[in-house]
Amino acid sequence: MHQSLITKSPDAILVADPDGKITDVSPRALERFGYGEPEEVQGKNLFDLVAPEYRAKAKIRLEQAERDGLVRPLTFRFLRSNGSSFIGEAHAAKVED
């Protein structure tokens, strides 16, 4: 079921394991980050998609999501596959299956 939600969502969704390794990605995320296929993103570290100056803040927020189950939205600068960047809002939630 969660795969259908990821595939059909108009939002850019990245799913990562507790170590930050990306395990799933939505079509909108591929488009937004400039990748063509899920395999180009799967296995990357989530923080590789965050601009270096925002990584420490992103790690704190991910730890908060792991601990509390949910993090309120926060604005970050993200990196596309071609090295360009964009500002986006990130939400994080702990999902157990």
Express each pLDDT in 13-67 by its tens digit.
Answer: 999 888 889 999 999 999 999 999 999 999 999 999 999 999 998 888 878 877 8
Instruction: List the one residue out of 52, 18, 37 whose CA is nearest residue 26.
Output: 37
Phi–psi pair at 36, nearest 5 degrees: -95, -35
pLDDT at 1: 45
Q: What is the pTM for the complete model shown?
A: 0.85
For residue 7, which amino acid is it? Answer: T
- CA of 35: how far to CAs of 25, 49, 78, 86, 90, in Å? 10, 11, 13, 14, 19
